[in-house]
């Protein structure tokens, strides 16, 4: 089946075989395979109870189509594998949101005019990769507290997150921030001072966030270029 590409999502639709055919009176349902997604994640949306061999329109937040050319199989089921891309996340979240719950919906168009269209709804969380903090990244004051909220490490709840201080490509120090929480991999913490005293040097630094204590380049992770002031 051809892959339909849009500006926000790429989707490949595959038939889902169920042991029991969907009855005409079964209420349609859709189910995402995870609770939260960030850019680079794939998620699978499964549907059942739809009209057999009928076009199905998927949308997110009530207005943004996920893709075109989706058709249920002879049992009224479908599975859509979707790659989450950055433009969609940027469109769904406000600038001050790290993550938010969004609505999903699917509506079929039965080929039999005697069959009424069916609609199913569900929801999921969408997250950015990012950090909110209480200091200006262009003017980090190393001796002042650095309060931060980190998000985007989906599926990593319970794992430890590390902040690496990198200068000229080399890791100068690492701080263990704590354990990530919830489906979107969120951590809220405060460092008593933004940088360890022993490494403070004014100028350009990279603050890298990863799940590895000794590797500032490890995936998953991300980093910011900041300016440290005297």
* Predicted pLDDT of residue 16: 34
CA distance 205 to 222: 14
pLDDT of 24 reads: 45
Write the CA distances from 152 to 69, 100, 109, 213, 217, integer angstroms: 30, 11, 36, 18, 16
**Going along 76-136, which residue ranges are E strands?**
78-84, 99-108, 119-127, 130-133
**Nearest alpha-carbon partner for 106 in 84, 93, 123:** 123
* Stated pTM of the model: 0.82
Q: In this predicted structure, what is the pLDDT of residue 68? A: 62
Two structure tokens written together for 6: 């849009």
- pLDDT tens, N- to C-terminus, the chain (230 residues): 332 233 333 333 333 333 334 444 579 999 999 999 999 999 889 999 999 999 999 998 876 767 667 999 999 999 998 889 999 899 999 999 999 999 999 999 998 989 899 999 999 999 999 999 999 999 999 999 999 999 999 999 999 999 999 999 999 999 999 999 999 999 999 999 999 999 999 999 999 999 999 999 999 999 999 999 99
Tokens of 129: 């990769």
> Domain 4-127 sits in which CATH superfamily?
Macroglobulin (MG2) domain (2.60.40.1930)
Contact indicator for 148, 190 with CB cutoff of 8 Å:
yes
Q: What is the CATH number of domain 130-228?
A: 2.60.40.1930
Q: Where are the domains of the chain?
A: 4-127, 130-228
Both tokens assigned to 202? 């004014």
Does this chain's domain 4-127 share its CATH topology with 130-228? yes
């Amino acid at each position: 089946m051809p892959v339909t590409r849009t500006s926000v999502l790429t989707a490949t639709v595959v038939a889902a075989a169920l042991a029991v055919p969907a009855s005409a009176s079964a209420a349609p349902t859709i189910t995402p395979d995870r609770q939260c997604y960030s850019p680079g994640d794939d998620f699978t949306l499964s549907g059942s109870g739809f009209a057999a061999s009928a076009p199905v329109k998927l949308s997110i937040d009530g207005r943004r189509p996920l893709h075109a050319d989706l058709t249920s199989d002879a049992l009224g089921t479908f599975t859509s594998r979707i790659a989450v891309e950055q433009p969609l996340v940027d469109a769904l979240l406000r600038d001050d949101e790290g993550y938010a719950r969004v609505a999903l919906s699917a509506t079929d168009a039965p080929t039999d005019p005697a069959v009424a269209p069916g609609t199913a709804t569900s929801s999921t969380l969408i997250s950015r990769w990012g950090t909110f903090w209480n200091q200006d990244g262009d003017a980090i004051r190393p001796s002042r507290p650095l309060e931060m909220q980190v998000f985007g490490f989906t599926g990593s709840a319970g794992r430890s997150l590390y902040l690496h201080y990198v200068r000229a490509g080399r890791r100068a120090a690492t701080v263990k921030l704590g354990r990530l929480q919830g489906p979107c991999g969120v951590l809220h913490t405060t460092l008593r001072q933004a940088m360890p005293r022993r490494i403070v040097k004014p100028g350009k630094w990279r603050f890298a966030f990863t799940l590895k204590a000794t590797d500032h380049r490890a995936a998953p992770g991300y980093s910011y270029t900041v300016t440290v002031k005297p």
